[in-house]
Structure 1
């Protein structure tokens, strides 16, 4: 059996699709599963279990990905994306079973691509559950494990184990998700002086992310931090996987840390963590809507609030609590 899965969105969506890919493998353990992704997330393909091949879409790719879809001999196509590009790929797959979300039916042209439907509504469930529901529409998946999963490729030669470090990722594509630079600097100083952890700040290539990082670097208390600009997504994932603790705003690093089960603190402001929160046991989630303590109850209708409402003291206390736990093995 040959299965085509399409996830043509961003990093977080791709990582949160891995529980659904695991469910596909469990339902059809002998199937060849190919995953279609955009070029910006393609470096992660090598770290996604249960996938035997990848198809990469994007500018400069020309006819190649479409030819791969057209000639793949697919038995089933699962479209986790629901946009024009993925609907066209679904049609070209010529799969006997083409599965999409009910909400795609609002677009009559797109809806012609599918012959099986999932009624799941992302506003009512965690994003990982939403994607798992697509598989469950044709292959009963039970409750399903919602934790994402990545596995770094083995190096050709063993590398020395790095010294413990804290990774802080303050940037994202939306500046309204930024926490104040001086608060990041205060957290970095606490990690250095109290926990004796070197701190590494990472960021993406966008100019406004780099400007935000420069503001943090110039704030008092952050002089000892190292700044890194990972050249690609796999390099960033490798840094995340080796960290003692990860602290970030609502961005793709949240999901990378979750996939590797790294102790983490995720800071949410204008967005609702109900849909995007990490769910493993060593994850602490803050919302600016209730800023003085970590969230323990998550609701689909929680309204956001400005990031400056988040308490530095509360984040530092959560950091202390996570670092007091035994190191994961």
Structure 2
């Protein structure tokens, strides 16, 4: 069995979308070790095809050459192939320093000499699952859908600790790391319309946002933002009856667990990063022929609305989303 090191992306949603690639590699007999930053590493612990997860001691920003050189020496001789999923120079540096013979990745950031097998970067914004899966060198990528798995006993343990029953509550993930142009402003209004418990999930940075939502339906909402590990959040998503989210990492997590979900898109596009699940429903006013005037500005892919109106999300009513649950 060949030994492969996979250099993971740094965002949760992107990490989820690498799962089909890893499934392909494992199916053809590669033993997989994933190297990931600590906040992304738990995603790979929900992928049974991954044999080992190494948490990188790196931070956001900076080359951190000394730390990469030290880890590279420790990894020398362990791997036959490295798959470099991010496009940055620093992500390709570690496999080079570890002297891994075969190093596969996309061209980018002047890293030609660091990779032995280089793919051309596609133009525009390609579907991300196919973008990652193409590193396998195989065809038929259009059918790939990410899948995450947790042992049922692990899910049940988390639900028991929270006093929740499978399928009897709604998870809301109101945050989006990218910025306000991806955050639907009516989660609180939706919570007030529901007759089921609502669990609010997000990072510690999103605890204040979730508290504002909880205050609009305090008898129904539980704010767990920043109070769970990522794997505990995964368990809460896996056990939910529905998930409502923006275009975010947790949206892709819900899709990979196959949970019924409503995904709200504003400044971004479901043509680029859709929730890949038959149980997902996407709301994007850009695609609504009855919405007037048409959103000619979407998708703008901006953090803030360049026109200042945020129509793409503000005009999606809580009643419209409730009808999908």
Q: TM-score range by the shorter chain?
A: 0.7 to 0.9
- Residue segments in structure 1 that go unaligned for 5+ positions in a row: 295-300, 320-329
* Aligned residues between the structures: 294
Distance 1:238 1:271, change over 3 A: same
In 2: Cα distance, 1:246 partner to 1:293 partner: 26
CA contact (8 A) 1:167 1:243 kept: yes
Pick from 71, 78, 81 the counterpart of residue 86 of structure 2.
Answer: 81
* Residue 168 of structure 1: aligned partner: 172
* Residue 149 of structure 1: aligned partner: 147
* Residue 263 of structure 1: aligned partner: 260
In 1: Cα distance, 2:155 partner to 2:321 partner: 38
* Residue 70 of structure 1: aligned partner: 76
Structure 1, residues 89-134: CA drift from partner, whole Å, max 9, x if none?
A: 12123222211113x1xx33x2211121223527342111100111
* Residue 112 of structure 2: aligned partner: 111
Structure 1, residues 158-215: CA drift from partner, whole Å, max 9, x if none?
A: 74682411111111222332222xx2122213321xxxx2111122111xx2222222
CA contact (8 A) 1:23 1:141 kept: no
SS of equivalent residue, structure 1 residue 231: coil
CA contact (8 A) 2:267 2:299 kept: no
Pick from 182, 189, 192 the counterpart of residue 189 of structure 1.
Answer: 192
* Residue 273 of structure 1: aligned partner: 270
Moved more, 144-153 or 239-248: 144-153
CA contact (8 A) 1:75 1:96 kept: yes
In 2: Cα distance, 1:122 partner to 1:238 partner: 36
CA contact (8 A) 2:169 2:199 kept: yes
In 2: Cα distance, 1:59 partner to 1:9 partner: 11
CA contact (8 A) 1:33 1:53 kept: yes
In the alignment, structure 1 residue 96 sits paired with structure 2 residue 115? no
Per-residue deviation, 1:65: 4.1
In the alignment, structure 1 residue 226 sits paired with structure 2 residue 244? no
* Residue 135 of structure 2: aligned partner: 134
After superposition, the CA RMSD in angstroms is: 2.7
Distance 1:15 1:90, change over 3 A: same
* TM-score, normalization by structure 2: 0.81
CA contact (8 A) 1:36 1:54 kept: yes
Moved more, 52-61 or 35-44: 52-61
In 2: Cα distance, 1:69 partner to 1:231 partner: 32
Distance 1:212 1:84, change over 3 A: same
Q: Please give the residue correspondences for 1:195-234 in structure 2 after superposition, counting only pairs within 5 Å.
A: 197-206=196-205, 209-219=206-216, 221-229=217-225, 230-234=227-231
* TM-score, normalization by structure 1: 0.80
CA contact (8 A) 1:292 1:314 kept: no
- Residue segments in structure 2 that go unaligned for 5+ positions in a row: 292-297
Distance 1:242 1:157, change over 3 A: closer
